[in-house]
Amino acid sequence: MILIENLTKRFGELVAVDALNLEIGTGEFFAFLGPNAAGKTTTIKTLVGLLKPTQGRAQLCGYDIQRDYLKAKTLLSYIPDAPFLYDKLTGAEFLDFVLNLYPSSNREKQMKMKDELLFQFGLDNHKYHLIENYSHGMRQKLVFAAALLHEPKVMIIDEPMVGLDPHSSRIVKDILKQKSRQGVTIFLSTHTLNVAEEIADRIGIIDKGRLIAVGTLEELKVSSGVHGKLEDVFLRLTEEES
Ligand SMILES: Nc1ncnc2c1ncn2[C@@H]1O[C@H](COP(=O)(O)OP(=O)(O)OP(=O)(O)O)[C@@H](O)[C@H]1O
Ligand SMILES: [Mg+2]
């Protein structure tokens, strides 16, 4: 579903992403970890076509993100680390706006889906309020609802849990788990290690642009020689690279 080949992104002298290779299967939940400035957001922006790779390529659902951008985009959902919302729209209006960006053969089903998502994310009572009056967590949940509206095959998510309270974080985790079980491929970068620990099928760790480890949690424990929590494994692996 996601194929990354020799993906490299340079900013001048800096190699932000260095010859990254990864293959992520249908329905797989992949957690992408790494210290600050490791290259996670740059990888993600290149994956979704916002940045042009210096070298290499990325394919989503068989479509090259540079050459077949529109085809890839209809199947993809991207949640950036700092999402943009229109403050002067209500939550419901924003979701209508997003719905209208995508072609649909079944608008009625999507409208139903919109109501379900607003309910699932606990935004039902706020759907007619202006987004400018939403709290950080409410905005974050609205972005999630918007990302799920067109039933994406691949979700690429940059740091979703920041600022979510434990209830909201549980809602988001449960929905992502459910989507992954339904066959949606999820690529998620996060510093919230318990999310990776609880729900990822595989974990990749990037440091200074290079993928330094990839595998299941058990595999990472074996390769790092640390048999504790993911936090200990992460600290060991990234410290060795420093
Ligand atoms: N547009 C840009 N121009 C120049 N350098 C950039 C640009 N975007 C990112 N960088 C640099 O690339 C490196 C990787 O940044 P990136 O945002 O990918 O890190 P990250 O792993 O997402 O970090 P964080 O955990 O802090 O979000 C950093 O050194 C950053 O300064
Ligand atoms: Mg980042």
What are the residue boundaries of the structural domains of the chain, listed by start? 2-82+153-241
The CATH class given to the 2-82+153-241 domain equals alpha beta
Minimum CA distance residue for ligand 1 atom 25:
36
Q: Is 37 in the pocket of ligand 1 (CB under 6 A)?
A: yes
Per-residue pLDDT, averaged over 33-59, amounts to: 97
Share of the chain above pLDDT 70, in %: 99
Work out which ligand 1 atom sits closest to the CA atom of 35. Answer: 25
Work out which ligand 1 atom sits closest to the CA atom of 12. Answer: 4
The reported pLDDT for the residue numbered 207 is: 97
Share of the chain above pLDDT 90, in %: 83
Distance 43 CA to ligand 1 centre (A): 9
The reported pLDDT for the residue numbered 32 is: 98
Q: Which residues of 12-132 form beta strands (DSSP E)? A: 14-24, 29-33, 55-60, 63-64, 76-79
Name the average pLDDT for the chain: 94
Place of tokens 């900013």: 11
Q: What Å distances lie between residue 178 and 86, 139, 148, 159, 184, CA to CA? A: 28, 21, 12, 19, 9
Per-residue pLDDT, averaged over 85-89, amounts to: 97
pTM of the model: 0.94
CB of 134 closer than 8 Å to CB of 142: yes
Residue 161 has pLDDT above 90, yes or no: no
Ligand 1: which of 20, 32, 36, 42 to mutate, judged by most atoms within 8 Å of the beta carbon? 42
Residue 241 has pLDDT above 80, yes or no: no
Q: Is 205 in the pocket of ligand 1 (CB under 6 A)?
A: no
Q: Which two tokens stand for residue 184?
A: 């949606």
CB of 64 closer than 8 Å to CB of 49: no
pLDDT winner (highest mean) among 12-16, 78-82, 225-229:
12-16
Phi-psi region of 151 (alpha: psi -120 to 50; beta: other; left: phi over 0): left
Q: Is 40 in the pocket of ligand 1 (CB under 6 A)?
A: yes
Residue 67 has pLDDT above 60, yes or no: yes
Residue 104 has pLDDT above 80, yes or no: no
Minimum CA distance residue for ligand 1 atom 31:
37
